[in-house]
């Protein structure tokens, strides 16, 4: 047992407080780095608008005096969260590592790497696949009902960021499931026999994380269910190897 295992409750609270301060510090650093790149990030999102649209400035409008400033802060904060996530996962691992067994500590680095990769993959799918489809659908639906789209810059950028961050977070679900299986909280047989309920939960999670349109929800739900099945397969192989 290490010295850290023998710490008192108050000492553990102090460690947790230090962890939160370090996490906040990392976010602040990435926030400061992201602020100058806010215009370039905005252009990346503008590039996902329909190709048929010529002048994007006529569609994306800034209607409030402070909107440009607050939008810059929101973009920088969301970017900071995305960039800081792998580092926050590493800090979390270091905090809980003393409570892990030797075998669990051996696999902790693998969990961090897998979590970071899945988060990045989720964000990339959100940006390159989901975002163009969702924007095109929203744009065409305005004309379909007889209206003309006049979106605010803030609403559009936050719509884009919501999709990207939501996909990144959602793709962490397999890691959570695998950890629950390894801890014995959930059994593989339970995951197999409750697929229908898993589908319902995945649809609900997709609906809550994404903007409330069916195509975007399904684009998130389908890969999540595939990851659900992959998690069952990996958990089964892992359990068999232990036996």
pLDDT tens track for 106-120: 677 778 888 888 889
| Helix axis angle, 195-209 to 153-170, nearest 10° | 150
Q: Shortest CA distance to 172 belongs to which of 77, 85, 238?
A: 85
Q: Say whether pLDDT at 74 is over 50.
A: yes
Q: C-alpha distances in angstroms, 34 versus 25, 44, 88, 102, 126?
A: 14, 14, 17, 38, 20
Overall average pLDDT of the 37-45 stretch = 91
Q: Say whether pLDDT at 158 is over 50.
A: yes
Whole-number Å distance between alpha carbons of 153 and 155: 6
Q: How far apart are the first and last CA of the chain?
A: 26
152 forms bridges with which residues in the sheet?
61
Q: Say whether pLDDT at 243 is over 50.
A: no
Mean pLDDT, the chain, integer: 81
> Which has more confidence, 219 or 26?
26
Q: Is 150 helix (H, G, I), strand (E, B) or coil?
A: coil
In the chain, where the domains are located: 1-171, 172-243
């Amino acid at each position: 047992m290490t010295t850290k295992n023998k710490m008192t409750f108050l000492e553990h609270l102090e460690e947790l407080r230090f962890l939160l301060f370090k996490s906040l510090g990392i976010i602040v650093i990435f926030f400061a780095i992201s602020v100058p790149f806010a215009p370039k990030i905005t252009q990346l999102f503008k590039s996902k608008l329909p190709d048929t649209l010529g002048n994007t400035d006529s569609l994306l409008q800034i209607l409030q005096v402070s909107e440009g400033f607050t939008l810059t802060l929101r973009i920088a904060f969301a970017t900071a969260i995305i960039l800081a996530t792998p580092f926050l996962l590493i800090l979390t691992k270091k905090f809980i590592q003393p409570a892990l067994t030797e075998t669990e500590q051996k696999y902790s680095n693998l969990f961090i790497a897998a979590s970071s990769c899945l988060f990045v993959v989720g964000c990339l799918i959100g940006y390159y696949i989901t975002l163009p489809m969702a924007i095109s659908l929203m744009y065409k639906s305005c004309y379909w009902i007889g209206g003309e789209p006049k979106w605010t810059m803030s609403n559009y950028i936050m719509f884009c960021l919501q999709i990207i961050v939501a996909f990144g977070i959602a793709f962490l679900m397999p890691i959570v499931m695998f950890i629950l299986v390894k801890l014995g909280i959930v059994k593989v047989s339970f995951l197999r026999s409750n697929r229908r309920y898993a589908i319902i939960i995945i649809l609900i999670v997709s609906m809550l994380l994404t903007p409330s349109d069916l195509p975007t929800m399904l684009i998130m739900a389908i890969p999540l269910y595939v990851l659900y099945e992959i998690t069952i397969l990996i958990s089964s192989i892992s359990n068999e190897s232990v036996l």
